[in-house]
């Protein structure tokens, strides 16, 4: 176990001004707090926070971060409290330790929900101070190094979580060295046989190619030295996990990999980086399409480097990365290499956010994902943001947009602005009209066409790849549905007050919110629209002395609510096109599916303009429209609160289709179905579904779901069908 003076010495080696007294105080406090606690390995528990602190001293982090590492499990696993940590070590360190503490006593159904809620808490703490992330990653790294002491079932879950969340998060923050070790440790625990096989093959390859690698290093260094450039040339080897991942992704064998070995060239200046590439390309032919400039266009994790592949000595393909020493430090250690950690301003997140693309991306992502989603959705969307490689696209004005590989113009639109995504109706890629689901490539210029008032289709959610797009689509469709229900609820409530002879205003309803246990007027209206709250209860909440005669009548005599007594029981009003409708102001206008109200039609038979119709409020589904003659209405005889006053409100110049069902009894012979389909097609109607029922060897019943304009249109089709010699009978179904 690391001694007290050893911890101080490690910090003082890179920070002579370290607060020795603070470090000593933290060491003693944590040792006493953890007391006799043991780890799964049998070692004293206190060894774990010390090893986490040691990892962070290798990254040369500030005193507060080291102290937070020593204390990071005290609130969670001992009797220590946040107040006590604040009092002894200050609020800054207290906030860091609190950010690293899992939520306790979560009243959640599933382990996944608990994991997601703890992850949300961690990321929100990271948004306030990125040092929480650095300590958490070091904590996870030491836990992975000692994972072999953990029971197998728990070991697999921790390793999988590391691959799913923490390794990609380290990569997004530019901490490549930590990401590589986390991935390899997880790989070794999840797939030990595959890992051992790849490690053995890499070892053999290392022995076989050692001389070639040394020769390439010498040739590269010599070629650059002859041009006056001092470069540190180092061979590098792919990690076992990255080798396995590429084999899986491309479905190739180990022998087919051509980039297992590569070389890093560390030079003095940015100008030298570009000079080196020029020298190498004039000495050896480069592989077309393999040059990438991450200096002029850095990755979102602040990675900067020039990449190229050449056909080098011995006709070997050689991958090269050219960068300065500062770029190399950031490439390996990411945000942990940031200068703010070294000059006493480690908690200056505003400065860090301006200077670090990685941290700026993380804070923006957390802000976008934190709005209103469940913990599971938050975890899902964060994974989407973490996993993918990137493509770089441009707006017509030249703004650079970084997106995950596989992104579409829909993802691009949401990356520009949420309103652009919600209103997107089309796109141009490089000046040409393209489908919204096209996969974007590096360098594409994307122009998004928008239309005000659009609502993104719910199906888009399954087609996009960014967390921002997915959560925005889900939120927009949820809001649109809520607005539909609230609109329906307002109409129902307004008419309920009119029937009761009571004046309605939003102010009156606002005063009754506590009695209805709702936070806002929209919540009440949406609940009524969804059928979760009866409109009479709203009237009674505003006017406590109100008595609902419909409910009383239904209780006294259910028979009175049959359809012969329908007008009396439910005060229903119907509007037949061309007929007078004296009570139309009290009924809800129905325009069809896709309007501003949640409307559906009777599941068997539907309803069409010209039918006298009834509206039944179905909880969670809105209004279901039935024709007055539907026998299904008897099921609602004792539920008068669900009956709604509805009427058709169809514009003459609109040609909307409505559902209807007919049964055609026809002779069972070749050509019968074709003749029936021709009649329907010639009439300008559409067949939505067909079902055949054998009546006898000679006759067959054909059940047809049609889409027609109105009752006149439907009756004309029925008349035409009856006139055909192969047709015995035609009946309309009134479900």
DSSP single-letter state for residue 564: G
Q: What value, to the nearest 5°, has the Cα angle with vertex 18 and ends 27 and 82? A: 45
Tokens of 188: 């070794």
Q: Which residue in 9, 76, 293, 419 is the catalytic one? A: 76
What SS3 class is residue 703?
strand
**Could you tell me whether strands 613-618 and 643-644 are parallel, antiparallel, or unpaired per DSSP bridges?**
antiparallel
**If 0-12 CB within 10 Å is exposed, 13-18 middle and 19+ buried, where does residue 40 land?**
middle
Tokens of 391: 């493509």
The answer to whether 494 and 509 are in contact (CB under 8 A) is: no
Tokens of 449: 């066409």
Is residue 76 annotated as part of the catalytic site, yes or no?
yes
Q: Pick the closest to residue 426 from 441, 405, 447 (CA basis).
A: 447
Query: What is the phi/psi pair of residue 277, to 5°?
Result: -60, -40
**Could you tell me whether strands 686-694 and 292-293 are parallel, antiparallel, or unpaired per DSSP bridges?**
unpaired
Sheet-wide strand order for 658-667 = 686-694, 699-708, 658-667, 727-733
Q: How far apart are CA 661 and CA 425, in angstroms?
A: 34
The residue written with tokens 């004293």 in the block is 44
Q: Pick the closest to residue 386 from 174, 169, 95 (CA basis).
A: 169
The answer to whether 488 and 588 are in contact (CB under 8 A) is: yes
Q: Which residue in 9, 20, 77, 217 is the catalytic one? A: 77
The residue written with tokens 């009396």 in the block is 568
Q: Pick the closest to residue 684 from 713, 662, 718 (CA basis).
A: 713
Q: Beta-carbon neighbour count of residue 604 at 10 Å?
A: 15
The answer to whether 49 and 73 are in contact (CB under 8 A) is: yes
What SS3 class is residue 653?
coil
- H or E segment and range at residue 261: strand 261-267
**What is the secondary structure of 431-479 as a DSSP string?**
TEEE-TTPPP-TT-BEEEEE-TT----GGGGGT---HHHHHHHHHHHHH
The answer to whether 561 and 554 are in contact (CB under 8 A) is: yes
Q: Pick the closest to residue 429 from 441, 420, 417, 416 (CA basis).
A: 441
Q: How far apart are CA 55 and CA 68, in angstroms?
A: 13
Which active-site residues does the annotation give? 76-77
């Amino acid at each position: 176990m690391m001694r007290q003076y050893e911890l101080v010495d490690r910090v003082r080696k890179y920070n002579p001004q370290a607060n020795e007294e603070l470090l000593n105080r933290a060491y003693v406090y944590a040792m006493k707090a953890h007391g006799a606690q043991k780890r799964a390995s049998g070692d004293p528990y206190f060894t774990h926070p010390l090893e986490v602190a040691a990892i962070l001293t290798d990254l040369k982090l500030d005193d507060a971060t080291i102290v937070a590492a020593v204390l990071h499990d005290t609130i969670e696993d001992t009797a220590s409290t946040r107040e006590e940590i604040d009092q002894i070590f200050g609020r800054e360190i207290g906030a860091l330790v609190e950010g690293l503490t899992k939520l306790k006593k979560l009243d959640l159904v599933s382990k996944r929900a608990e994991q997601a809620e703890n992850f949300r808490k961690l990321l929100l703490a990271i948004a306030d101070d990125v040092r929480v992330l650095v300590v958490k990653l070091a904590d996870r790294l030491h836990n992975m190094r000692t994972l072999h002491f953990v029971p197998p079932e728990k070991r697999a879950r921790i390793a999988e979580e590391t691959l799913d969340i923490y390794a990609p998060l380290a990569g997004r923050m530019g901490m490549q060295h930590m990401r590589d070790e986390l991935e390899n440790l997880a790989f070794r625990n999840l797939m030990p046989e595959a890992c051992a096989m790849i490690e053995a093959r890499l070892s053999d390859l290392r022995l076989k190619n050692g001389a070639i690698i040394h020769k390439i290093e010498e040739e590269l260094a010599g070629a650059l030295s002859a041009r006056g450039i001092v470069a540190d040339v180092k061979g590098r080897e792919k990690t076992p996990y990255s080798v396995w991942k590429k084999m899986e992704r491309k479905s190739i064998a180990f022998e087919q990999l051509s980039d297992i070995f590569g070389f890093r060239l560390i030079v003095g200046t940015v100008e030298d980086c570009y000079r080196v590439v020029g020298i190498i390309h004039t000495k050896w032919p480069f592989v077309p399409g393999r040059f990438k400039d991450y200096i002029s266009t850095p990755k979102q994790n602040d990675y900067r480097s020039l990449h190229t592949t050449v056909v080098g000595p011995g006709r070997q393909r050689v991958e090269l990365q050219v960068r300065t020493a500062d770029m190399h430090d950031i490439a390996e250690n990411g945000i942990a290499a940031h200068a703010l950690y070294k000059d006493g301003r480690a908690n200056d997140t505003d400065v860090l956010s301006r200077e670090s693309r990685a941290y700026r991306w993380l804070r923006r992502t957390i802000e976008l994902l934190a709005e209103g989603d469940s913990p599971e959705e938050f975890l899902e969307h964060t994974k989407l943001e973490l996993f993918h490689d990137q493509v770089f696209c441009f707006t017509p004005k030249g703004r650079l947009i970084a997106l995950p590989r596989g992104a579409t113009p829909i993802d691009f639109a949401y990356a520009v602005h949420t309103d652009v995504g919600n209103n997107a109706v089309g796109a141009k890629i490089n000046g040409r009209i393209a489908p919204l689901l096209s996969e974007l490539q590096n360098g594409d210029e994307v122009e998004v066409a928008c239309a005000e008032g659009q609502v993104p289709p719910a199906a888009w959610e399954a087609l996009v790849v960014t967390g921002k797009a997915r959560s925005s689509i889900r939120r927009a469709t949820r809001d649109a549905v809520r607005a539909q229900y609230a609109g329906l609820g307002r109409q129902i409530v307004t008419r309920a007050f009119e029937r009761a002879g009571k004046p309605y205003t939003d102010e009156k309803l606002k005063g009754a919110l506590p009695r209805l246990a709702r936070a806002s007027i929209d919540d009440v209206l949406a609940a009524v629209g969804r059928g979760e709250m009866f409109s009479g209860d709203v009237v009674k909440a505003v006017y406590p002395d109100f008595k609902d005669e419909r409910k009383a009548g239904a209780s006294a005599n259910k028979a009175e609510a049959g359809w012969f007594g329908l007008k009396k029981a439910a005060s229903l009003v119907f509007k037949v096109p061309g007929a007078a409708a004296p009570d139309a102001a009290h009924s809800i206008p129905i325009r069809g599916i896709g309007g501003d109200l949640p409307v559906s039609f009777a599941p068997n038979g539907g309803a069409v303009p010209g039918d006298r119709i009834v509206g039944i409020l179905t909880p969670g589904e809105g209004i279901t429209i039935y024709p007055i003659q539907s026998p299904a209405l008897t099921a609602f005889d004792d539920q008068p609160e669900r009956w709604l006053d509805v009427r058709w409100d169809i514009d003459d110049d609109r040609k909307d289709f409505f559902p209807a069902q007919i049964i055609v009894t026809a002779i069972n012979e070749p050509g019968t179905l074709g003749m029936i389909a021709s009649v329907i097609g010639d009439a300008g109607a559409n067949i939505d579904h067909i079902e055949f029922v054998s009546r006898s060897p000679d006759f067959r019943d054909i059940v047809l779901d049609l889409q027609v304009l109105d009752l006149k249109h439907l009756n004309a089709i029925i008349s035409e069908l009856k006139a055909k010699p192969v047709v015995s009978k035609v009946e309309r179904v009134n479900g």
